[in-house]
Structure 1
Amino acid sequence: MTQQPRSATSTPAPATTEDDGAPPAESSPAPSYPPLAAPRPPAEHRVWPRTFHDRLTAPLPGLKGFARFAREGAVRPGPEGLADIPRLPYEPGPLPRVDARTVAVTWAGHASWVVRIGGLTVLTDPVWSRRILGTPARVTPVGVPWSALPRVDAVVISHNHYDHLDAPTLRRLPRDTPALVPAGLGRWFHRRRFTRVTELDWWEASELNGVRFDFVPAHHWSKRTLTDTCRTLWGGWVLTAPDGRRVYFAGDTGYGHWFARIGRRYPGIDLALLPIGAYDPRWWLRDVHCDPEEAVRAAQDVGARRMAPMHWGTFVLSAEPVLEPLTRVRTAWRRAGLPREHLWDLPVGGSRVLE
């Protein structure tokens, strides 16, 4: 069983079967899920385990894996794979006009979304920087100018990798902006003088102005320095509007059993924001990054009515051709027999409103 966090303000609830990091046995019946947890108090002080290694779905690469990668791994596409950079879809436009009953999303690029829900403006993994550590500059500009954003009511973070947690972008926000972050990541925000930081474990929730934020598992990992591997948690977020409409932001994740469990626990997801890029070489990245076909399966597993691809076409992080994720996800969606209008394959800067 996974290690449960210790709270300085309350006694943690006992673990349930869905907290187990192992996939369910093929012959076992579907687990019975308890009611959703009551929202945690915002910005409460929490005490966490020293490490979250026990949450890994698969072991991280060892010396043999790194040796193989050094021999044969490619970290960037060749010239032919980069030739389509000018054709990457980039169509910035004004943000949709919304009210408290509107659910709308705008793709700023990579895993950064402007989500308008329940009268709130929420940023996911905001990266407005042109360059991040260890990666070439972005190949498409940010889809939403910072100056065009309304007041940001909250930020949600999936994990601490540099392409998802960007200090220069976060420095642009008022320090009293609510930040909802994985367990263990609060210290990073507090050092930067953020005052309203809520850390959550998997299956825990917080609430802001009637919008519920549930932190859910992902098949990934965390690391920001040489010495902090898996010291903070990783995951995705389910945002639920007061009227019950749901948006699932998967963060960064490989494919696996958590998607079906998320779908059973949060039925009726209206839109899943799912990663489709940074998957090649497959033997190296399979455990932590979905490929396009797996992302479509994940959308079906969570029971999402619509899917919006992300995590592609912004930073060149791996060896697949830059346009390949888009062509493959469209093919996979069609082969799955899903309605074409339910695949929201937006250009960077594009928006859609949930009817």
Structure 2
Amino acid sequence: MTERTRTPPAAGAGVTPPAQLRPLGEVRAWPRSFADRLTTPLPGVRAFARLAREGAFRPGPEGLRGIPDLPYEPAPLPPAVPGTVSVTWAGHASWVLRIGGLTVLTDPVWSRRILGTPARMTPVGVRWEDLPRVDAVVISHNHYDHLDAPTLRRLPRDTALFVPAGLGRWCRRRGFTRVTELDWWESAELDGVRFAFVPAHHWSKRSLLDACRTLWGGWVLTDARGSGRQVYFAGDTGYGHWFGEIGRRHPGIDLALLPIGAYAPRWWLRDVHADPEEAVRACLDLGARRMAPMHWATFVLSAEPVMEPLRRVRAAWARAALPREHLWDLSIGASRAF
């Protein structure tokens, strides 16, 4: 049985409340809006008019010629080994993460097409039939390329879902019975793995009238009873001050899963989507030992050439004089373990 509690008033974007451990499945009351958490104001009418004039929604023909070169190398999932963390990139922001004996999916999107976007450039890197039993799912925010209802419908309704504040109702309406929604800097534990929800420079919207009605953020997963290994999943985010604070609150991150795509035109997307150079800066701010790029090579969401994010992140990593083996620039379907 869940307990209904009232959440304290939302903190402003500059406030970092102390970490709190919340019970699983807690039903809570939330503010009507989280707009006070925005790092910068959402675009107005003039910005939309400029975007329409420039028509910079998708890459030009030259930028799309790189589609055949997108990295796609599906392979069997690595075995689950006690004390070992493994990640498999299924595409976009979807990962199969095995930590502390659990199999966790991040922002699972197994659909071929999402609303308002051309079909996938690359297939999903892991067939749904090849997945082990999924113990938990983490959702970063409610945009369609991160919260995919057809994919969630494939899951048993008793799968543990960890979602941002305000999104629990959406999940429960679809029959899920083990939904834990968290505010920034809160965490919950499932079978020895800690799920901590942390801030992001982004926003939320799923329909015409629900902007910022639910929260957005990333997740730090920790093997709390075993190896102590930590994996940070950023979800979708621009670059900004939160990375340094996350690193201070969660020192010793072993791997950061960071977005590098959907950044052009820069004047339009800078505040909510990091570019490759900013992703490397974010990794340094976090104090993370390794970085795995994501949020590229799957959907055409913006105007940069499709292969450009990979070239730029490799160059930025080299300029920062970081060990090449710590940049896990995986192909879709590939895995790595530590």
TM-score of the superposed pair, with normalisation by structure 2: 0.96
- Residue 161 (structure 1) aligned with residue 143 (structure 2): yes
Give me the whole-angstrom Cα distance separating, in 2, the residues matched to 1:263 and 1:46.
Answer: 28
Give me the whole-angstrom Cα distance separating, in 2, the residues matched to 1:319 and 1:171.
Answer: 31
Give me the whole-angstrom Cα distance separating, in 1, the residues matched to 2:53 and 2:6.
Answer: 51
Q: 1:295 aligns with which of 279, 282, 285?
A: 279
Give me the whole-angstrom Cα distance separating, in 1, the residues matched to 2:76 and 2:166.
Answer: 36
- Residue 200 (structure 1) aligned with residue 200 (structure 2): no
- More divergent stretch after superposition (49-58 vs 63-72): 63-72
Alpha-carbon deviation of 1:151? 0.1
Alpha-carbon deviation of 1:100? 3.0
- The question of whether the paired residues in 2 share the 8 Å contact of 1:100 and 1:120 is answered with no
Q: Structure 1 residues 222 and 11 mapped into 2: Cα distance closer, same or farther (>3 Å)?
A: closer
Alpha-carbon deviation of 1:73? 3.9
Q: 2:289 aligns with which of 287, 305, 316?
A: 305
- Residue 231 (structure 1) aligned with residue 227 (structure 2): no
Alpha-carbon deviation of 1:64? 1.0
Q: How does 1:141-290 map to 2 (within 5 A)?
A: 141-241=123-223, 242=225, 243-290=227-274
**Which residue matches 1:21?**
13
- The question of whether the paired residues in 2 share the 8 Å contact of 1:272 and 1:299 is answered with yes
Alpha-carbon deviation of 1:11? 6.8
Question: Aligned to 2:114, what secondary structure does the other structure show?
Answer: coil
Alpha-carbon deviation of 1:22? 3.5
- The question of whether the paired residues in 2 share the 8 Å contact of 1:255 and 1:298 is answered with yes
- The question of whether the paired residues in 1 share the 8 Å contact of 2:12 and 2:36 is answered with no
Give me the whole-angstrom Cα distance separating, in 2, the residues matched to 1:9 and 1:233.
Answer: 18
**Which residue matches 1:66?**
48
Give me the whole-angstrom Cα distance separating, in 2, the residues matched to 1:166 and 1:294.
Answer: 27
- The question of whether the paired residues in 1 share the 8 Å contact of 2:243 and 2:286 is answered with yes
Q: Structure 1 residues 123 and 11 mapped into 2: Cα distance closer, same or farther (>3 Å)?
A: closer
- Residue 327 (structure 1) aligned with residue 311 (structure 2): yes
1:264 counterpart letter in structure 2? R
Number of aligned positions between the proteins:
334
2:163 counterpart letter in structure 1? V
**Which residue matches 1:338?**
322
List per-residue Cα deviations over 1:146-192 (Å, max 9, x = no partner). 00000000000000000000000000000000000000001110110
Give me the whole-angstrom Cα distance separating, in 2, the residues matched to 1:287 and 1:84.
Answer: 26
**Which residue matches 1:86?**
68
**Which residue matches 1:316?**
300
Alpha-carbon deviation of 1:252? 0.1
Question: Aligned to 1:133, what secondary structure does the other structure show?
Answer: coil
CA RMSD of aligned residues (A): 1.5
Give me the whole-angstrom Cα distance separating, in 2, the residues matched to 1:72 and 1:85.
Answer: 23
1:97 counterpart letter in structure 2? P
Give me the whole-angstrom Cα distance separating, in 2, the residues matched to 1:78 and 1:63.
Answer: 25
- The question of whether the paired residues in 2 share the 8 Å contact of 1:159 and 1:235 is answered with yes
Alpha-carbon deviation of 1:291? 0.1
List per-residue Cα deviations over 1:286-316 (Å, max 9, x = no partner). 0000000000000000000000000000001
Give me the whole-angstrom Cα distance separating, in 2, the residues matched to 1:171 and 1:156.
Answer: 15
Question: Aligned to 2:254, what secondary structure does the other structure show?
Answer: strand
Question: Aligned to 1:272, what secondary structure does the other structure show?
Answer: strand
Q: Structure 2 unaligned runs (5+)?
A: none
Give me the whole-angstrom Cα distance separating, in 2, the residues matched to 1:192 and 1:101.
Answer: 34
- The question of whether the paired residues in 1 share the 8 Å contact of 2:7 and 2:30 is answered with no
Give me the whole-angstrom Cα distance separating, in 1, the residues matched to 2:174 and 2:228.
Answer: 34
Alpha-carbon deviation of 1:20? 4.1
TM-score of the superposed pair, with normalisation by structure 1: 0.92
Question: Aligned to 2:337, what secondary structure does the other structure show?
Answer: strand
Alpha-carbon deviation of 1:71? 1.1
Give me the whole-angstrom Cα distance separating, in 2, the residues matched to 1:275 and 1:346.
Answer: 13
Q: Which runs of 4+ in 1 moved over 2 A?
A: 7-12
- Residue 132 (structure 1) aligned with residue 132 (structure 2): no
- The question of whether the paired residues in 2 share the 8 Å contact of 1:81 and 1:321 is answered with yes
Alpha-carbon deviation of 1:8? 3.4
List per-residue Cα deviations over 1:194-221 (Å, max 9, x = no partner). 0000000000001000000000000000
- Residue 9 (structure 1) aligned with residue 14 (structure 2): no
Question: Aligned to 2:5, what secondary structure does the other structure show?
Answer: coil
Alpha-carbon deviation of 1:72? 1.2
List per-residue Cα deviations over 1:47-94 (Å, max 9, x = no partner). 000000000000000011111111114111011100010110000000
- The question of whether the paired residues in 1 share the 8 Å contact of 2:202 and 2:236 is answered with yes
Give me the whole-angstrom Cα distance separating, in 2, the residues matched to 1:69 and 1:80.
Answer: 20
